[in-house]
Amino acid sequence: MQLNQIKSKKRRVTPSDKHQLSTSQERCQIHKYLTLNNQNINKSQKYQILDQIGEGSYSTIFIVENKLHGGYYAMKKVLQDPKQINRELEIHMNMNHPHIAPLRDYYYSVENKVKYLHLVMDLYQGNLKNAIRVPLKRVAKQLFQALEYLESQHVMHRDLKPANILYQSGNIYLADFGSSKKMDGSKSLSYVCSRAYRAPELLFGQIFYNTKIDIWAAGCILAELELGKQLFFGQNTVDQIVEICKFLGTPNELEKAELGCQFYIPNLQAKKLSMIFINFVLNQKTDPQLIDLLSKIFIYSPSKRINCNEALKHPYFLS
């Protein structure tokens, strides 16, 4: 074909051409945005820190704004100590349950040669530590539903406490998986969970345990929400054991063997759980079914302690 044959006159741009051009430009812009959002942008520049709202031993919590598409979030900045195993990201990113706070984004940063993990989550009104007059039965049911899901994933939370249960509009959301671990049959640290919510097997130093430690912690949380104060509050580990013994009585020999108890405990008589909940705030009467549910949680032997499925079928949730 000759050159003069392929030359043509300049064609007029039709409305159809304009539409195709517009569509092409739009697709280009969308592709450019997604590339910018997901790959090219430095994620530390994506979020603007507005305020600090919490602090722990290895982490700090901030309110941040997403500068790309707006919206306010909570960001947990976690120190990555090379001497410790950090399973938080691996476990949290695989969680999918309506009562577990979803992980929205994450990235790593290095500051002064120190590595940090940044976890971005939804921003909630508060947590059970600062919530006032929560619907206890609703909260209890949602808590056991979330724990049942963790159990199905073979995950132990290992740090259940009111501050780690987010709350908004009558609903709860489990958060903070910094101490969580998959059950794989290996030895585990016994020094986990805040003392007031620590199960007896942990207090006695057991290194093989399961999700029943979270059931115990859940019971402590529900009792605290009902009483307005912590049920067991010792000044140290030994004192905490004594406080539990004052309530449950001294464990028998079989229970001591299962708990791994290897030291002397004075002989103490158990108290009736119903007596603990008499004449508390405003002289309101505690639901007897709640007391019965707690009596099945506060059991020394983990193998005899109620599980999540059994808890959700308890008459307390049917009334």
Measured distance CA(146)–CA(125) in Å, rounded? 19
Residue 315 CB burial class (10 angstroms; 0-12, 13-18, ≥19): exposed
Phi, psi of 301 (to 5 degrees): -75, 115
Select from 315, 265, 267, 319 the least CA-distant residue to 295: 315
DSSP 177: -
* Count of C-beta atoms within a 10 Å radius of residue 29: 10
Measured distance CA(204)–CA(192) in Å, rounded? 12
What residues contact 162, with CB distance under 8 A and at least 6 apart? 127, 128, 129, 221, 224, 225
Q: Which residue has the tokens 């805040």?
A: 194
Select from 126, 120, 25, 112 the least CA-distant residue to 67: 120
DSSP SS3 for 154: coil
What residues contact 55, with CB distance under 8 A and at least 6 apart? 61
Q: What angle do CA 309, 272, 299 make, to 5 degrees?
A: 35
Decide if 184 is catalytic: no
**Residue 246 marked in a binding site:** no
Q: Which residue has the tokens 């008589």?
A: 269
Catalytic residue selected from 17, 105, 122, 159: 159
DSSP per position, 200-264: HHHHTT-SS--THHHHHHHHHHHHHHHHSS-S---SSHHHHHHHHHHHH----HHHHHHHT--S-
Which residues sit in the known binding site? 76
Active site residues: 159
Which residues sit in the known binding site for ATP? 76
